[in-house]
């Protein structure tokens, strides 16, 4: 397994496990969701656990994440959408490639540069 990079952040709002997250102007964690985080253009990773406001949690920026709720096509890229969801289809409003499916329920997270920023 590849090394991973996990970053600790304090949650500003309630965070759900496996959610795409970004930081607000105070550097606190928020769910990546348009328009709250400027279309997720500053997405930093995926929350490894759920959190309540004020709680410190780890965010995976690089490495493997397993989620039994995912149903990926192996070896296909995974993208972040404006609403904070994860998709393997390249949406019209795709902004960030977040990694690649390495198993049906396994994602190798590696955030790329901004792919596109198109307001819908």
Q: What digits encode the pLDDT tens for the residues 35-61?
A: 554 546 677 889 999 999 999 999 998
* Block residue for tokens 């500053």: 42
Tens of pLDDT, residues 54-105:
999 999 989 999 999 999 999 999 988 767 778 898 877 656 788 999 999 9
CA distance 34 to 9: 20
13 DSSP 8-state letter: S
pTM flag (> 0.85): no
């Amino acid at each position: 397994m590849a090394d991973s990079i996990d970053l600790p952040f304090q949650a500003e709002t309630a965070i759900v496990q496996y959610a795409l997250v970004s930081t607000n102007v105070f550097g606190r964690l928020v769910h990546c969701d348009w328009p709250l985080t400027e279309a997720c253009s500053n997405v930093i990773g995926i929350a490894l656990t759920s959190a309540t406001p004020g709680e410190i949690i780890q965010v995976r920026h690089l490495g493997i994440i397993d989620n039994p709720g995912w149903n990926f096509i192996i070896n296909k890229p995974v993208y972040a959408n404006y609403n904070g969801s994860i998709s393997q289809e390249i949406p019209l409003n795709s902004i960030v490639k977040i990694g690649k499916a390495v198993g049906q329920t396994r994602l190798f997270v590696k955030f790329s540069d901004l792919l596109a920023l198109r307001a819908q």
